[in-house]
Amino acid sequence: MALTGETTQLKRLDELIDKQQAIFLARQPRSGELGASARRSLAGGATSSWQIAEPRAVWMSHGKGSRVFDADGNQYVDLHGGYGVNAVGHAHPKIVEAVSSRVARGTHFAQPTEESIEVAEELARRFGLPLWRFCNSGTEATMDAVHLMRAATGRDLIVKIEGCYHGHHDSVQVSVLNGWDEIGPELRPASVASSSGIPQALVDLTLIVPFNDLDAVRLRFDEHPDRIAGVIVEPIMMNAGIVPPDSGYLEGLRELTRRHGAVLAFDEVKTGVTVAPGGATELMGVTPDLVCLAKAMGGGLPCGAIGGTEDVMGTIVRGEYEQVGTFNGNPLTMAAARAALVEVLQDEAYRHFARLREGMVSGCTAVTSRYDLSAYTVAFGAKGCVTFSSRRVRNYRDFLSVDDRYGYCHWLYQHNGGVFLPPWGKAEQWMLSVQHSEEDAQLFVDNFATFAEEIRG
């Protein structure tokens, strides 16, 4: 595209953002009022900092099937999925039944209940890892993974991928969404705290490498012989749109970690049970030493799990690593997780995701070429996204180069067009559920086409 054409398009993009933001704000006065009153007692006016997004947080009323309803009564096809949780959709009868029957029999004992065995066995079958423990969030799962790496090896350093988000504990809140001015050279990126409150002493224990770059990992192992406990990685990076691993990348990590006596942990908090029954571990055919799960495995309840080899989980078995938590294996969560995994997310669910996904990818790809947009669509299982770039994003730095305004403007079009997506436009994905229909999926494609047409003018 000629520079003048590009400048015109960006000017148009800014105008469309202003217009769509005005529509957004006018549709949700009640969210505005609730936000204002919340600021008196909730820090920042919401229950998590990531619920506050431009133009303003959307307050929710309820969900049913594939739909959510905001506090103003607007209805949306829910492709936000509660940040990738709701693979079962809202109020699925099997989940309602499992949770209702458990509630009536007591919801917390801090002692194991029978469902936890069934959930662990199902996860062991899906991920090919024998031993499991439960926790309450993705953050706790990756925190356990980092502790287990260190416990199993007696080493302190860990390797983390630049741009990957693994939750908000100290060891991994490093080099997540930092800007160009902070991130340092490409082969040896700087370790940068991604929030205040993270001690520099801990930041220094987290070595950063770019995704899809085995040489950078090799370099780190060579520079720190016998000091690296392990590598934590999202096998498909999902905090930068969707970035698939290059062919041979995960196999290379597997081989390098083995050669250096380090632990390989896959953070499958987003990919686990959504991209395939056994997550990216199954889809990509590489089995790590540890898998971290949360989100969709719990059928909509707060959840987390960590699974691993006899070797690494042996540190728990032998009492060398204390994996603990008052709510671990909570009966309500276990009942919902059992129903989600054993009764809902079975083979037909994954065939359903595939049908809808294929329609969305081919529909969006057709729109992209019809309007000659610099964009592509990538999807796995229940998840997918449009990335506004003419070249494929392979790592965080490629992602940083993508103009945020396209993703944001597209997100506004989807929202005002009745499709609820996670905020932050370019970073997140759509999430399908077993209760979504072809019409639901088509609405996303239609909104994308409207956006593309208006961008082109």
CB of 142 to ligand PLP, least distance (A): 5
Output the residue with the shortest Cβ distance to ligand PLP.
Answer: 138
| Nearest-angstrom CA–CA distance, 166 and 434 | 26
- CB-nearer residue toward ligand PLP: 85 or 455: 85
Return the SS3 of 163. coil
By C-alpha distance, which of 317, 382, 328, 345 is closest to 123?
345
The strands making up 131-135's β-sheet, listed across from edge to edge, are 131-135, 304-308, 290-293, 263-267, 228-233, 157-161, 206-209
Q: Measured from the CB atom, is 165 or 376 closer to ligand PLP? A: 165
User: Of 166 and 352, which CB lies nearer to ligand PLP in the complex structure?
Assistant: 166
| Distance in angstroms (rounded) separating the CA atoms of residues 272 and 274 | 5
Structural contact between residues 232 and 146, judged by C-beta atoms closer than 8 angstroms:
yes
Question: What is the chain's percent helix, strand, coil content, to nearest 5?
Answer: 45, 15, 40
Q: Please state the closest distance from residue 291 (CB atom) to ligand PLP, in A.
A: 12
Q: Catalytic residue among 267, 289, 398, 440, which?
A: 267
Q: Is 413 a catalytic residue?
A: no
The token pair at 18 is 């202003």
Parallel, antiparallel, or unpaired: how do β-strands 430-431 and 228-233 relate? unpaired
Q: Exactly one of 160, 295, 383, 426 is catalytic; name it.
A: 295
Measured from the CB of residue 381, what is the shortest distance to ligand PLP in angstroms? 15
Nearer to ligand PLP, 66 or 173 (CB): 173
Minimum Å gap between C-beta 303 and ligand PLP is 8
Give the count of alpha carbons within 13 A of 441, CB side only: 25
280 token code pair? 């990216």
Strands (E), 104-260: 131-135, 157-161, 206-209, 228-233
Quote the least distance from Cβ 270 to ligand PLP, whole Å: 5
CB nearer to ligand PLP: give 71 or 297. Answer: 297
For the chain, counts of helices (H) and of strands (E): 16, 14
Rounded Cα–Cα distance for residues 193 and 208 (Å):
11
160 a catalytic residue: no
Q: Which two tokens stand for residue 244?
A: 């698939």
List contacts with ligand PLP (CB under 6 A): 83, 137-139, 142, 165-167, 234, 267, 269-270, 294
- Closest distance of CB 247 from ligand PLP, Å: 22
Please say which residue, 294 or 452, places its beta carbon nearer to ligand PLP: 294
Task: Give least dist CB 60 to ligand PLP, A.
Answer: 17
C-beta closer to ligand PLP: residue 90 or 166: 166
Where are the alpha helices (H) located in 160-246, listed in sequence order? Answer: 200-203, 214-223
**Which two three-digit tokens encode residue 41?**
């007692």
The answer to whether residues 71 and 30 touch, using CB atoms and an 8 Å cutoff, is yes
> Cβ 136 to ligand PLP, closest distance in Å?
8
CA 106 – CA 259 distance, rounded (Å): 48
Catalytic site includes residue 165: yes
Select 34 or 172, whichever has its Cβ closest to ligand PLP.
Answer: 172
In terms of C-beta density within 10 A (0-12 exposed, 13-18 middle, 19 or more buried), how is residue 407 classed? Answer: buried
Catalytic choice (76, 83, 165, 406): 165
> What are phi and psi for residue 108, nearest 5 degrees?
-160, 130
Annotated catalytic residues are 165, 267, 295
